[in-house]
């Protein structure tokens, strides 16, 4: 009996993505073998700036970036909406937006401002940071605004395949996450949630149900990585990629005058940062890494099909 | 008696800018000789895009562009507001905005949208053209919105020296012009009006009073001028400049990715157009023309001081 238990434990340890209760992994639910390495290469912040739109569309065309999400309140929404209408196969979600983080270049809500005053700073824009936004946000107004963003996107001909949250504002506390999840469920859209977050974010396991669709892990770079180590960071992560569904969250734009103007006092996620992401994720080196490591690119559209 | 009359008529013809009733010309009211050639070199559309802000600030620094006006609803307002706070001597007015003319890149009102629905197109932005905007605009909502634009500018530390109207929407009919003038008078700010418009715009003479401050003429380029003739058009106009106050209305930006993205389907006032304006109005050739033709650059701030 003891041996059997040890053997069973060993099997469980070899198959960390099989739910302890024997439920299917997300990879299996998608119809892939449980050891498949599945990757969503996801570009955030579409609609924010022309530079972001242009670089991301170029990256989609390389076939190496499989998904992206759109910021509805931003000034360049119309440009990416036109792309979405012309490319209905593109895997485009909504990057629900409740912050406006660049000091020279700003945006505010889709909802009439007097109905969402808890979301606005003294200048009438969204707050600069996710912490301020979450601290002031009235959950009813958050619901109103994120539904308005989804409705505006649909009115412009965008058929979103998934939802996520710009700067993670909607993951800042349980109340906001519940609003987010309620709206996503009512729209039958999957939400960016990773199983690896469960350990740090105690409200996630209690809020989600087995019917919700979420992925295994998120991979993203951070400011501790030196610019010269950018490609090495991503290459190492891809070589070590575990089975299951991983989303690498990237930020694409060109290091041009517009992006430098927007991010002039904010090197993190700034113009040069985004150019480095663009260069790596459209490179032949990245394409080769995917092949050599037997990694398959997938989309949120596939995940969304699992929602009942 | 007849000789006297002919002599008087001859004097009047030599002094076309002296009011027929013997009132002072605007140049004289400003304290200049009646034959002084006074020029406001005015850059429109500040706040619209980073490219517009950067090129216009560069042009201000050349000393050859004396004035500009800001679009409060636009995404790059914060950048130009920071410039205005740091440069309180800059002659910055407000380019009151009721249209959003680029199809890839759009903006809407400062006022909560449900209070100014007559100003919005089906996508929730301002109309694309001044004709549509004027046809749909409820004058009360126009008043609400332009006051909101002025108040937001002041809240950001902009002290406007004058008002004008993006794409001329507020000059489209007498009702809108009366709203514009009422708001301007209550703010004690001068408005872009030229005496030469009186012949074409029949409501102007009846709406304005001798206490209002307006200039003699506006000079602007148009799409009939071939790109290669740009400098010649402006040079000829400057050489022929008549005495009095002229405003040359120009549009500055760089012919860069952001401006090309915004104006991709709209060569008039597009990226290359604005680069040509930038090149001429920051050139040594323009500086020399001003000197050789004894033209003095003035500002709207000087004109505003005449308002009682």
Residues B193-212 have pLDDT tens digits of 999 999 888 899 889 988 88
Residues B115-129 have pLDDT tens digits of 999 999 999 999 999
Residue B4 has pLDDT above 90, yes or no: no
For residue B112, list chain A residues with Cβ-Cβ distance below 8 A: 112-115
Residue B17 has pLDDT above 70, yes or no: no
- pLDDT of A199 reads 87
Contact A79, A50 (CB under 8 A): yes
What is the DSSP pairing of strand B37-46 with strand B295-297? Answer: parallel
Kindly state the average pLDDT of the residues B104-118: 96
Distance of CA A141 to the CA centre of its chain: 22
Q: How far is CA B175 from CA A37, B128, B202, B207, B294, in A?
A: 66, 20, 13, 10, 40
Residue A99 has pLDDT above 80, yes or no: yes
For residue B115, list chain A residues with Cβ-Cβ distance below 8 A: 112, 114
In which band, very low, low, confident or very high, does the pLDDT at B260 lie, cut at 50, 70 and 90? very high
Contact B253, B259 (CB under 8 A): yes
Contact B66, B89 (CB under 8 A): no
Kindly state the average pLDDT of the residues B156-176: 97
Residue A20 has pLDDT above 70, yes or no: no
Nearest partner of A53 among A237, A259, A252, judged by Cα? A252
Residue A2 has pLDDT above 70, yes or no: no
> In chain A, what percentage of residues exceed pLDDT 70?
93
Contact B195, B216 (CB under 8 A): yes
Q: Which residues contact B242 (CB under 8 A, 6 or more apart)?
A: B16, B17, B37, B216, B217
**Inter-chain residue contact B113 with A115, CB threshold 8 Å:** no
- pLDDT of A23 reads 80
Distance of CA A158 to the CA centre of its chain: 17
Contact A118, B104 (CB under 8 A): no
The average confidence (pLDDT) of chain A is 93
**Inter-chain residue contact A258 with B49, CB threshold 8 Å:** yes
Q: In this complex, how many residue pairs, one in chain A and one in chain B, have their CB atoms less than 8 Å apart?
A: 95
Kindly state the average pLDDT of the residues A22-34: 91
Residue A10 has pLDDT above 70, yes or no: no
Helix (H, G, I), strand (E, B) or coil at B51: helix
Kindly state the average pLDDT of the residues A168-174: 97
Kindly state the average pLDDT of the residues B126-146: 98
Minimal Cβ distance to B262: which of A50, A152, A155: A50
* Residue labelled with tokens 């709206």: A183
Nearest partner of B176 among B204, B150, B154, B205, judged by Cα? B204
- pLDDT of B200 reads 87
Minimal Cβ distance to A112: which of B76, B103, B112: B112
| Beta-sheet strands, E only, within chain A | 37-46, 67-70, 92-96, 163-165, 217-219, 244-250, 295-297
> In chain B, what percentage of residues exceed pLDDT 70?
93
Contact A105, A261 (CB under 8 A): yes
Contact A168, A98 (CB under 8 A): no
Kindly state the average pLDDT of the residues A57-83: 98
Partner residues linked to B191 by β-bridges: B163
Greater pLDDT, A266 or B137: B137
Q: A129-161 burial, b for 16+ CB within 10 Å, e for fewer?
A: ebeebbeebeeebbbbbbbbbbebbeebebebb
Distance of CA B82 to the CA centre of its chain: 21
- C-alpha A77/C-alpha B107 separation (Å) is 10
- C-alpha A215/C-alpha A180 separation (Å) is 17
Residue A13 has pLDDT above 60, yes or no: no
Per-position DSSP letters for chain A, written without gaps between them = -HHHHHHHHHHHHH-TTS-TT-PPPHHHHTTS-TT-EEEEEEEEEETS-HHHHHHHHHHHHHT---EEEE-TTSTTHHHHHHHHHH-TTS-EEEEE--B---SSS----SS-GGG-GGGB-TTSSBBSSHHHHHHH--HHHHHHHHHHHHHHHHHTT---S-EEEGGGGGGSSHHHHHHHHHHHHHHT--B--BGGGTTT-THHHHH--TTS--BSEEE---TTS-GGGHHHHHHHHHHTPPSEEEEEEE----SSHHHHHHTTT--TT-HHHHHHHHHHHTSHHHHHHHHHTTEEE--HHHHHTT--
Nearest partner of A161 among A46, A38, A76, judged by Cα? A46
Q: Which of A192-201, A251-260, A274-283, B115-124 has the lowest average pLDDT?
A: A192-201
Residues B221-236 have pLDDT tens digits of 999 999 999 999 999 9
Q: For residue B23, what are its two tokens?
A: 């009132």
Residue B102 has pLDDT above 80, yes or no: yes
Minimal Cβ distance to B256: which of A75, A107, A257: A257
The average confidence (pLDDT) of chain B is 93
Q: For residue B280, what are its two tokens?
A: 């001429």
Residue A76 has pLDDT above 80, yes or no: yes
Per-position DSSP letters for B157-184, written without gaps between them = T---S-EEEGGGGGGSSHHHHHHHHHHH
Residues B167-178 have pLDDT tens digits of 999 999 999 999
B-interface mutation test, from A105, A141, A158, most B Cβ less than 10 A away: A105
* Cβ atoms < 10 Å from Cβ of B136: 15
Residue B27 has pLDDT above 90, yes or no: yes
Q: Which residues contact A55 (CB under 8 A, 6 or more apart)?
A: A252, A253, A254, A274, A275, A278
B25 DSSP 8-state letter: P
Is the pTM here over 0.90, yes or no? yes
Burial of A4 (0-12, 13-18, 19+ CB in 10 A): exposed
Residue A261 has pLDDT above 70, yes or no: yes
With CA atoms as reference, the chain A residue closest to B255 would be A257
In which band, very low, low, confident or very high, does the pLDDT at B181 lie, cut at 50, 70 and 90? very high
What region, left, alpha or beta, does residue A32 occupy, with left being phi > 0 and alpha being psi -120 to 50 degrees? Answer: beta
- pLDDT of B3 reads 56
For chain B, which residues lie within 8 Å of any Cβ of chain A, measuring from their own Cβ? 49-51, 53-54, 74-79, 82, 103-107, 110, 112-115, 122-124, 152, 155-156, 254, 256-258, 261-262
Q: For residue A204, what are its two tokens?
A: 């996630």
The size of chain B, in residues, is 308
- pLDDT of A228 reads 97
């Amino acid at each position: 009996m003891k041996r059997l238990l040890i053997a069973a434990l060993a099997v469980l340890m070899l198959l960390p993505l099989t739910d302890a209760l024997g439920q299917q992994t997300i990879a299996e639910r998608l119809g892939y073998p449980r050891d498949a390495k599945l990757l969503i290469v996801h570009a955030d912040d579409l609609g924010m700036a022309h530079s972001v739109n242009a670089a991301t569309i170029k990256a989609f065309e390389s076939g190496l970036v499989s998904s992206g999400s759109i910021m509805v309140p931003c000034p360049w929404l119309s440009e990416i909406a036109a792309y979405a209408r012309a490319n209905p196969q593109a895997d485009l979600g909504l990057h629900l937006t409740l912050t406006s983080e660049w000091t020279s270049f700003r945006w505010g809500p889709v909802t009439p401002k007097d109905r969402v005053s808890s979301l606005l700073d003294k200048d009438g824009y969204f707050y600069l940071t996710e912490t301020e936004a979450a601290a002031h946000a009235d959950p009813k107004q958050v619901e109103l605004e994120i539904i308005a963003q989804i409705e505006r996107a649909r009115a412009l001909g965008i058929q979103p395949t998934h939802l996520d949250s710009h700067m993670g504002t909607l993951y800042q506390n349980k109340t906001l996450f519940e609003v987010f999840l309620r709206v996503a469920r009512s729209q039958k859209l999957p939400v960016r949630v990773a199983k690896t977050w469960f350990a740090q974010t105690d409200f996630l396991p209690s809020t989600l149900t087995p019917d919700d669709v979420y992925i295994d892990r998120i991979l993203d770079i951070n400011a501790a990585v030196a610019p010269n180590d950018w490609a090495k960071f991503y290459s190492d992560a891809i070589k070590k990629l575990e089975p299951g569904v991983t989303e690498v969250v990237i930020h694409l734009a060109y290091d041009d005058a517009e992006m430098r103007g927007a991010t002039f006092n904010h090197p993190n996620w700034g113009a040069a940062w985004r150019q480095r992401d663009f260069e790596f994720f459209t490179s032949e080196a990245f394409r080769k890494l995917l092949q050599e490591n037997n990694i398959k690119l997938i989309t949120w559209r596939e995940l969304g099909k699992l929602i009942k």
